Amino acid sequence: MLSSSCPTRREIHPQEMPYNIAIVGAGPAGSVLARLLLNSDKQIKVTIFEAEAGIDFRSQGGSLDLHEKTGQAALKAAGLFDEFLKWARYDGEAMKIADKKLLCYIKQGAAKKGSVSSTGRPEIDRPKLRELLFNSLPAGTVQWNKKLRKVDDSLTLHFADGSTQSGFDLIVGADGAWSKVRPLLSNVQPYYSGIAGHQMIISDAEKNAPDLYEMVNRGSLFSFSDSKSIMSQQMGDGCINVSTWSTPFAGEGVNLAFADAMKLAELIISAASTTEQSSDQKDTLDKNVKTFEQDMFKRATETQQLTVGAPRKGIEKYILRAVSGELGTLVTNIVLAPIVYTWFFFFKLIY
């Protein structure tokens, strides 16, 4: 799924330092942002307001692959990479991208940590990632059972239990597609994209679905055509999570969210550093947040463009995007791109 960070601001006064920041939503994006801010050497107060009753309130879904330049980079910046490695599954890098007839466009074998065959995108189960992030936060950072109803013009948070919270220098909406923070910035409402989903779990897949188990190969099988998709992904406990795949069809959702959190945290911390020597605190924070938003929209748009006509239409862009971080833009565009586009030109002619 994509990050929905929607910052809003109020006027800041020098005597009110340090910053007091509210984050709505204790998912991966909100939690890693809180960790990044609290792990800095600046005195920044952070509170996360979460609608759910607790970390185990519901099933957290499937597995996630964290990329070196985004997801993993954020965890390194947060000082959590070593803890991540305890749960990372490099054999989960095995992946097939196919169409509805299981015609494979990409086939990646399983790998071991540090091996040359590794793509640098190990898997981690969502519950483990969320647990890792939650345990890294000071007690009381997350306030559970705080379902946000609205944010008014004075930037007061109104919750379903009748309580309110105010006095924040920055409010970050990390509360998903139906964000209650977004209306302060945009009148655009979520609308049906034409994509619906179903999900099921095959327990002990090696025994109960051996053919599928072999195809998934401890990793992931993505098959999609005709604007439809189905995904099979093995979890750490041996079960296989079978579901339709949400847009964008690029495996970038949580990685975009982590990149958002990392970049926003850097700019907030930069503003905090600047304002220690400047009385113009509001302008500094506003400028940095606007810079973040412009970059966020650009990166999200580039990823969304991988969805239309997938996998046949954009498979070349997907491959080049996946390797550009490691090979570099110059090598990718000049050396690899002609090979990839030529290969798939003839592949599509034949198939």
What pLDDT does residue 5 have?
47
**Sheet order of strands, 148-151 included:** 148-151, 157-159, 164-165
CATH number, position 261: 3.50.50.60
Nearest residue to 33 (alpha-carbon basis) of 142, 166, 143: 142
Predicted local distance difference test score (pLDDT) of residue 302: 80
pLDDT at 312: 72
How many domains would you assign to the chain? 2
pLDDT score at 172:
97
Residue 90's domain comprises 8-313
The residue type at 116: V
Same domain, 341 and 290: no
Beta carbons within 8 Å of 245's beta carbon, 6+ residues apart: 197, 222, 224, 229, 230, 231
Q: State the pLDDT at residue 119.
A: 65
Residues 296, 342 within the same domain: no
Same domain, 26 and 160: yes
The answer on 318 and 292 residing in a single domain is: no
pTM value is: 0.75
Task: Please give the pLDDT value at position 249.
Answer: 55
Looking at the structure, tell me whether residues 214 and 101 fall in a common domain. yes
Low-confidence stretches of the chain (pLDDT beneath 70): 1-18, 59-61, 110-119, 193-197, 227, 243-251, 275-281, 306-311, 322-327
Q: What is the pLDDT of residue 146?
A: 98
